[in-house]
Amino acid sequence: MSSVKIGSIAPLDAATLPPYSPTTYLDYSQPEHRASFEAALAEVRKSFGTEYPIVIGGQREQGSKTFDSTNPSKPSEVLGRFQSGTVEQANRAVATAYATFQTWSRVAPAERAAYLVEAARRMRERRNFFSAWMVLEVGKSWGEADADTAEAIDFLEFYAREMLRYAAPQPVHQMPGEHDSVVYLPIGVGAVIPPWNFPLAICVGMTVAAVVCGNTVVLKPASDTPGIAWQFFALMEEVGLPAGVINFLSGGGGVVGDTIVRHAKTRFISFTGSRDVGCGINKLAAEVQPGQIWLKRVVAEMGGKDGIVIDDEADLDAAALGVAQSAFGFCGQKCSACSRAIVVDKVHDVFVEKLMAQIERFVKIGDPAEYGTYMGPVSSERAMNTILKYIEVGKTEGKLLTGGGRVEGRDGWFVQPTVFDDIAPRARLAQEEIFGPVLAIIRAKDFDDAIAIANNTEYGLTGACFSKNPAKIQKAREEFFVGNLYLNRKCTGAMVGCHPFGGFNMSGTDSKAGGRDYLLLFLQAKSIAEKIG
């Protein structure tokens, strides 16, 4: 296929590109790393109050009004002021992306991939700066923020290499007298709608997966975290990505989000967020608009109600640690977080004692900007109020073991790590996604009953099983119905290239981000048969 060159970056050479390897996390107990992070926090604070534009085809624009991105630890601190885009701007952003697609789609895959590798190099150099933005904008601890940035770097590196793999000759059987081949083509304009909870990693992964395949996108960042999304967009401008390949459009989902999903020139929608919003996007995308000549693809990851099964033959110390980390890392605001501990009755009491000791030992609440804080605030006042309502529900459904309310004496949106015991398998606390630091402990009669309980929600994202019995582990492999299953370890922390991520049922379309199948969602295969001789 012919290609054009529109940038100044040198194409990648697959033969000299080092093999992919996940990024190692930084150890902030080391003085040099700690000092670097503190300097990065100071650097971000110097930019507080800056106003940021909408960018369509490289042109900076204002919206109909502005909204503030604030620090959930100290809501009076305004990190930045962002534009609320209009319907007209949303329509124009899609049209601009469509026009840009005509040239970007013909750029050589090795050149497109080179932009990602160069962005990864620069993000790696400034990783604490990107992480500091997340500490201040969404309340991540240092370690959680660094893991988010590391994952973003890994998506850039991994998808660059994946594009080279798809661009290489594909194995097809050769008919006698023919030359047969399959090539993968980009599909068009995408609406990219990332979440606030992994505001760099998922935003980067969703966007660059589409772009490296030759597509163009309209990026609508989450309204709670537009600042870190802007830093990513600015990085891609810095490395020389042509204008119009990524168009930055902040604003409300009901205005700009629905418009870009509905637009006839939109070919696909990448969405990560709640079940209800995802179902609404899927329904809206299914409506064929006048002039639309394709069925839109929807790539959706919509959350979970994740369970960890603790068998009576488990290492209970390891299980208690795994549940505590999975339930309260980043305040339980991960779609992969453990919100149900399903414990075989025989070891229930001992497990609960060990779990409470782990929570007491390391789940320390504080300002995430301070070194050593494990759990900061939840993302917003809106999120806090929703979580507190669920805690009140929990008080009617089970026994409160710890927590149960807002952290007093702090200005921000802090919620206590909360654990309820003796929750029924069908109780609201066991079925509905809370997205906060609330754990329900559920008793199971035996291991088979525990697996049945684990499977009894409408979700199917992550799950874990702790057992020393090989037969039970095999049963979990076969019958625990989730997209990402972890055995004798926590149920959070998927690594790019190692744990392709995506779930079943109402957890979404099982997109398998960070895996070998993911780029296929943004490509279409063209079979070419040429008669020879």
Residues annotated as catalytic are 301, 335
Between the alpha carbon of residue 67 and those of residues 45, 49, 84, 307, the distances in Å are 18, 11, 7, 37
Closest by Cα among 443, 465, 475 to 323: 465
> How far, in Å, CA of 305 to CA of 488, rounded?
19
The secondary structure of 265-328 as a DSSP string is TEEEEEEES-HHHHHHHHHHHTSPPTT--SPPEEEEE----EEEEE-TTS-HHHHHHHHHHHHH
> How far, in Å, CA of 229 to CA of 220, rounded?
9
For residue 233 the two structure tokens come to 């967009």
Question: Are 493 and 335 in contact, with CB atoms under 8 Å apart?
Answer: no
> How far, in Å, CA of 329 to CA of 309, rounded?
18
Look up tokens 């589409």; give the residue: 210
Closest by Cα among 25, 45, 53 to 135: 45
> How far, in Å, CA of 191 to CA of 16, rounded?
34
Q: Count the neighbouring beta carbons within 10 Å of the beta carbon of residue 178.
A: 13
Question: Are 475 and 292 in contact, with CB atoms under 8 Å apart?
Answer: no
CA 161 and chain centroid, separation: 20
> How far, in Å, CA of 375 to CA of 138, rounded?
12
Cβ neighbours of residue 330 under 8 Å, at least 6 residues apart? 140, 141, 144, 197, 337, 375
For residue 385 the two structure tokens come to 């109020």
Handedness of CA 368, 373, 379, 381 (dihedral sign): negative
